[in-house]
Structure 1
Amino acid sequence: MAAQTQARTCGLIDGFGRRVTYLRLSVTDRCDLRCVYCMSEDMSFRSRRDILSLEELARLARLFIARGIDTLRITGGEPLVRQGILDLFKALSEPLRDGSLHELTLTTNGTQLPRFAEDLARTGVRRINVSLDTLDPERFRTLTRGGSLAQVLDGLAAARAAGLTVKLNAVALKDGTEHEIHDLIAFAHERDMALSLIETMPLGDIGADRLDQYLPLNALRRQIEQRWTLVDIPIRTGGQACYARIAETGGLIGFITPHTHNFCADCNRVRVTASGTLYTCLGQDDATDLRAILRVGGSDDDVVRVIDQALGRKPKGHDFVLRRGTPPQITRTMSETGG
């Protein structure tokens, strides 16, 4: 216990003095949607043997928590399509109860929430992020290559009924978001949900040029300000978003801007993929294989030692660049990395 307390006191500190307290842990690279900015239409996924078991995922999570991680976000792919996923949430509710973990949450596309929302709340999940890029059923079907908006709206209703706080995430897409942004704001704030807007990121081959999708958020913000009054506020929720409050609604709107305003200076997060690869930066190829250590019988000390070494190599920031005809700098997709 004394060693664990000392580890948490020291924490995870990278080479630039940033304290890492936030882990995004992917449980699957699979998804029941095929969003055009995230995946190619013809995706191939990891074999089952390459994916960490729920027990391996829980072990890694506990080791990160012992090193000072206090916010744990479960991601995918779509995390709720992972068979037995509630067992992982139940296992991670223990560090929530003893106070070593401050928050357990997830990012989801919402399709499975009618089935899981109540059980998630029982395990200690209090807030979730739901991806929702459009309120138009036909556009939703196009963007997701066949998804049902009604299913996601049912999921939002189920989450709210279960007492979960919901934040909506919308990827800003050219020739689409500009026409819906005011409706998205009104929809979110009428339901006491914050809305975060995200610039598209060049991860993986999606079968399209991302410049054709890219909508800079500084331009979208100017459009928003033609109708709404934005008041910047200095809150942080553990993510990269800069927030403003809309005076007319009282609701929050966040801007995640990897291109127009680099957010790396105070980065506090790392990611572990469903196959056990640790990435200390979303926009760099700084990979560390944790699965290999787990599966050759490495001790907890062995795993922690490798995690600490990886944190020492965490880069200062990403190098995302969008250029016409240029392949993405990062070959792995967002669904593989963990959203």
Structure 2
Amino acid sequence: MLIDPFARKISYVRVSVTDRCDFRCVYCMAENMTFLPKAELLTLEELDRLCSTLVEMGVRKLRLTGGEPLVRRDVMWLIRQVGRHLRTGALDELTVTTNGSQLAKHAEGLVEAGVRRVNVSLDTLDPDRFQAITRWGRFAQVMGGIEAAKAAGLAVKINAVALKGVNEDEIDRMVEWCGERGFDLTLIETMPLGDIDGDRTDQYLPLSLVRARLERRWTLEDLDYRTGGPARYVRVAETGGRLGFITPMTHNFCESCNRVRVTCTGTMYMCLGQEDAVDLRTPLRSSEGNQALEQAIRDGIARKPKGHDFIIDRRRKAPAVARHMSVTGG
């Protein structure tokens, strides 16, 4: 087992397979992004080796993220490779976070590889608003992908970033829509990561306020349910669906953190809201054996901080962390 300095078992790793995305969501990245040179990214074979090493060291859950992971060429090969650890019982769960644009193409393949659940980022049900938020996204394509995922037997969880003055007026509708379709819904506060060509102080909407508004219409019953991530869940009595809240700004959820993130370049961040990191690419490429890689992972876990330092700085109007979410992995 990987144990951090605060006796937390690190059993969950989010691995980014690419920083590229076919959307340009306004809270995530600038429209004219400069992506990393391909030579800096881990190869699919290196990603497989890294994931396998993490599983051997006690990681029980892996989430593949991006950017948009399904736009990476031959990514299904990687997902099938990692899926072999599900069949041996060494890995409990392999999941994918996606914007849904490629789900129609890959939903059945994901199920065949062992994936049983996907998180789909969807911040609005209004096609025009969707276009404004994603800049490059196609609403009908995403809706088709979500339906394909459901038809293939994948459990779907919708992730929505709550944005002040953007989608706060339709969160009620999203709760209803997800309830009708049997989807879980998780609401997320905007996080101060990377330059986005805008001011996050205008976007920030505390979920404590959102919950208070929802309770005017819905009966929200607190649950002990956990997926291994940071969300705190309630059941919506009227729909029977689960509703999660991820609140890095209004409530620091770090006390139970069991995860680390590895970027598409092989950099392991022990905390999403801290800059301290460990280079895993060098030991991956410097030796055919895994001894140096394992030691680097253990060294990083030994430095995992107690919590993050996220803050929306209304004076500087600058991100708390310079790197973009698309590089770190969602």
TM-score bucket (shorter structure): over 0.9
Counterpart residue number, 1:174: 164
Q: Give the distance between the partners of 1:52 and 1:310, measured in 2 at CA.
A: 19
**Structure 2: gaps of 5 or more residues:** none
Counterpart residue number, 1:94: 84
Contact residue 123 and residue 162 of structure 2 kept, 8 A: yes
Counterpart residue number, 1:214: 204
Counterpart residue number, 1:332: 323
SS of structure 2 residue aligned to 1:208: coil
Q: Does residue 1:12 correspond to 2:7, yes or no?
A: no
Counterpart residue number, 1:30: 20
Contact residue 86 and residue 92 of structure 2 kept, 8 A: yes
SS of structure 2 residue aligned to 1:12: coil
After superposition, where does 1:183-198 map in structure 2 within 5 Å? 183-198=173-188
Q: Give the distance between the partners of 2:254 and 2:189, measured in 1 at CA.
A: 15
Per the TM alignment, residue 313 of structure 1 is displaced from its structure 2 partner at its CA by 0.3
Alpha-carbon deviations, 1:229-260, whole Å to 9, x = none? 10001111111000000111110000000011
SS of structure 2 residue aligned to 1:306: helix
Q: Give the distance between the partners of 1:86 and 1:309, measured in 2 at CA.
A: 31
Q: Does residue 1:45 correspond to 2:29, yes or no?
A: no
Contact residue 201 and residue 317 of structure 2 kept, 8 A: no
**Worse-matched range after superposition: 17-26 or 288-297:** 288-297
- Seen in structure 2, the aligned counterparts of structure 1 residues 119 and 129 have a Cα distance that, compared at 3 Å, is same
Q: Give the distance between the partners of 1:98 and 1:206, measured in 2 at CA.
A: 42
Q: Does residue 1:225 correspond to 2:248, yes or no?
A: no
After superposition, where does 1:175-324 map in structure 2 within 5 Å? 175-297=165-287, 299-324=289-314
After superposition, where does 1:142-161 map in structure 2 within 5 Å? 142-161=132-151
SS of structure 1 residue aligned to 2:30: coil
Q: Does residue 1:119 correspond to 2:109, yes or no?
A: yes
What is the number of equivalent residue pairs in this alignment?
329
Opposite residue 321 of structure 1, the aligned amino acid is I
Opposite residue 330 of structure 1, the aligned amino acid is V
Counterpart residue number, 1:165: 155
Q: Give the distance between the partners of 1:294 and 1:305, measured in 2 at CA.
A: 11
Opposite residue 320 of structure 2, the aligned amino acid is Q
**CA RMSD, Structure 1 to Structure 2 (Å):** 0.8
Opposite residue 325 of structure 2, the aligned amino acid is M
TM-score for both structures, normalised by structure 1: 0.96
Q: Give the distance between the partners of 1:272 and 1:35, measured in 2 at CA.
A: 22
Q: Give the distance between the partners of 2:129 and 2:159, measured in 1 at CA.
A: 16
SS of structure 1 residue aligned to 2:256: coil
Opposite residue 334 of structure 1, the aligned amino acid is M
SS of structure 2 residue aligned to 1:13: coil
Opposite residue 190 of structure 1, the aligned amino acid is E
Opposite residue 326 of structure 1, the aligned amino acid is K
Counterpart residue number, 2:100: 110
Q: Give the distance between the partners of 1:176 and 1:218, measured in 2 at CA.
A: 17
Alpha-carbon deviations, 1:253-294, whole Å to 9, x = none? 000000111100010000000010000100001111111111
Identity %: 56
Q: Give the distance between the partners of 1:52 and 1:248, measured in 2 at CA.
A: 46
**Worse-matched range after superposition: 252-261 or 172-181:** 172-181
Q: Give the distance between the partners of 1:176 and 1:193, measured in 2 at CA.
A: 22
SS of structure 2 residue aligned to 1:105: strand
Opposite residue 259 of structure 2, the aligned amino acid is R
**Worse-matched range after superposition: 310-319 or 324-333:** 324-333
Opposite residue 53 of structure 1, the aligned amino acid is T
Q: Give the distance between the partners of 2:268 and 2:289, measured in 1 at CA.
A: 17
**Worse-matched range after superposition: 324-333 or 190-199:** 324-333
SS of structure 1 residue aligned to 2:58: coil
SS of structure 1 residue aligned to 2:240: coil
Per the TM alignment, residue 177 of structure 1 is displaced from its structure 2 partner at its CA by 2.5
Contact residue 200 and residue 317 of structure 2 kept, 8 A: no
